[in-house]
Chain A
Amino acid sequence: MDYILSSMKFLWQGLFVTVEVSLLVIVLSLVFGLALGVLVTYGPTPARLAIRLFSDIIRGIPVLVLIFTVYYGLPVTGLNLNNFVSAVIALSLFSTAQIIEIARGALQSIHHGQTEAAKAIGLTFPQRLFHVIFPQALRRFLPPWINSVTDVVKGSALVSLVGVVDLMLAIQQVIGRTFVPMPLYVLGALIYFAINYTLSSLSRMLEARYAYIRE
């Protein structure tokens, strides 16, 4: 037990890296996923096809393969990225592909009449998006998006496999020194659970908050 307590600071640093990786991936994938999601829904056909192809390919590849490809594969092309950057890029690619689909589903669920009514009062495309479409699509976007955020937090444990010392790798290193795996794995599971349970509770709160929007 003393060993575990003395490694708390080490675990704490690992947790910090996990949160750091997760936040970066969440922000990057949200920005790119939303932009591409809008483009795949309303954009010109070539852009739509290209984005569909991207998202289909990425979603068909295991995250771990993506991480290894970026970290071990890209140097072949002369692009050397450190393990942290590689891991963030690979996870962001994966999450962006998810968010494109979530955004597309949310946007397409809004009745075409909403766009027509917005056009009829003279709103331009950006005005229609921000004042009419997005506020309604938000309710449908949030639950699956929070779900994908919890996937990112859980998936971030894979970055330990390219040597990023996140919570997962910190736990394994402590186990390597103390030889008491069970309590440490349970502790790790509890920490991941605490983060994700908080997120899904937040999701339920937000869902209730936007439940007033009915067609």
Chain B
Amino acid sequence: MPISASSATAPDGGPAPVVRIRGLKKSFGTTVVLDGIDLDVHRGEVVSIIGPSGGGKTTLLRCVNVLEIYDEGSVQIDGVEVGFTDSSGTRRKRTERDLAHHRAETGMVFQLFYLFPHLTAAENIMLGLRKVRGFSKAEARSIAERWLDRVGLTAKADSLPSQLSGGQQQRVGIARAVAMEPKVLLLDEITSALDPELVGEVLAVVRKLAEDGMTMMVVTHEMAFAREVSSRVVFIDAGRIAVEGKPKDVFQKQSNERLRSFLSRVSHDPGLK
């Protein structure tokens, strides 16, 4: 299926959001992880999601690409509900095939990379292009090489993940996700597992993607980075959006007590002061 840029507009005439989340709820057993999230992400926006551990940040991302099936509420990508069909009036979980199709529209980069260890860097990127997008081997290879070039790993195309540093592996992880030309890119604490000196090279790649207009939802503990690249920052606490706004408003006004205490705990980050 070809990827087409949507030209849909919202009922009020403004551009429709790429991601539209309404009343999103998710529990694991008796633990409520997401307790009614409303969030729109528009084309080209970079939305950073910050907040304490266990607050539901990662679960929110996982609901957007349906790695988790949410309990209540709605997640739409370009106006299409991702986890359920509601045509007949009753909510039905989508089929595996539908879910796979939706996941291909949302790129995900993981904290622990999760590169396929039996495939080279180029093959990691080519797998989705060939099996999901239907490109020929040669086409997929040339797309993979183009993306490896953009993340600065031209020379590593035929290296196995075990031969790459953490930072290099994560850059391949990013290339693998963006090569699919997703409508939104989800980054889940992608620098948390890296040695400090490797964080910069990965963030540089994300910064470049942001400049090129990639729509992104970024869960991060790098506050300086969140402030620098985000169009908007969302502070999630106890499964709800507690504060939402422009980065400088969120970080400078610190209007909310929970946000203030969270930021003071992570304020070893030199970029904040």
Contacts and interface: CB of A to CB of B under 8 A. Distances in A.
Nearest to A110: B117
Contacts of A135: 118
B115 interface: yes
Interface in B102-126: 103-108, 110, 112, 114-118
- Looking at B105, B112, B117, the one whose CB has the most chain A CB atoms below 10 A away is B117
Q: Interface majority SS on A: helix, strand, loop or mixed? A: helix
A121 interface: yes
A86 to B, nearest CB: 41
Interface stretch (B19-27, B75-83, B93-101): B93-101
Contacts of B116: 114, 117-118, 132, 136
Interface string A6-43: 00000000000000000000000000000000000000
A214 to B, nearest CB: 4
Given A113-B112, A117-B110, A131-B131, A122 B118 contact: no
Contacts of A121: 103-104, 107, 127-128, 132, 176-177, 180
Contacts, number: 73
A213 B115 CA distance: 12
A120 B108 contact: yes
A60 B162 CA distance: 41
Nearest to B162: A214
Contact of A136 (B65, B101, B118): B118
Contacts of B127: 121, 123, 131-132
A118 B103 CA distance: 10
Nearest to A119: B103
Contacts of B104: 121-122
Q: Interface majority SS on B: helix, strand, loop or mixed? A: mixed
B67 A123 contact: no
Interface residues of A, number: 22
Interface string A98-131: 0000000000000101101111111111010001
A136 B117 contact: yes
B160 interface: yes
A212 B132 contact: no
Interface in B124-140: 127-128, 131-132
Nearest to B130: A131
Contact of A123 (B112, B114, B131): B131
Say which size band chain B's interface belongs to.
Answer: 20 to 34
B96 A124 contact: yes
A51 B112 CA distance: 33
A113 B114 contact: yes
A215 interface: yes
Contact of A213 (B118, B128, B176): B118
A116 B107 CA distance: 12
Contact of B117 (A116, A131, A215): A215
Interface in B253-273: none
Given A119-B67, A122-B101, A123-B131, A213 B114 contact: no
Contacts of B118: 135-136, 213
B51 to A, nearest CB: 22
Contacts of B180: 121-122
Nearest to A114: B114
Nearest to A134: B118
Nearest to B106: A120
A113 B108 CA distance: 12
A137 to B, nearest CB: 10
B117 A213 contact: yes
B110 A113 contact: yes
- Looking at A113, A116, A121, A214, the one whose CB has the most chain B CB atoms below 10 A away is A121
Contacts of A111: 114
A215 B112 CA distance: 11
B132 A122 contact: yes
A131 B127 CA distance: 8
A11 to B, nearest CB: 44
A80 B221 CA distance: 70
20 contacts: A113-B110, A113-B112, A116-B110, A116-B114, A117-B114, A119-B67, A120-B67, A120-B103, A120-B108, A120-B110, A121-B132, A122-B100, A122-B101, A122-B103, A122-B105, A123-B127, A124-B96, A131-B127, A132-B116, A215-B162
Which 5 A-B pairs rank lowest in CB-CB distance, beginning with the nearest?
A122-B104, A121-B128, A117-B114, A120-B108, A113-B114
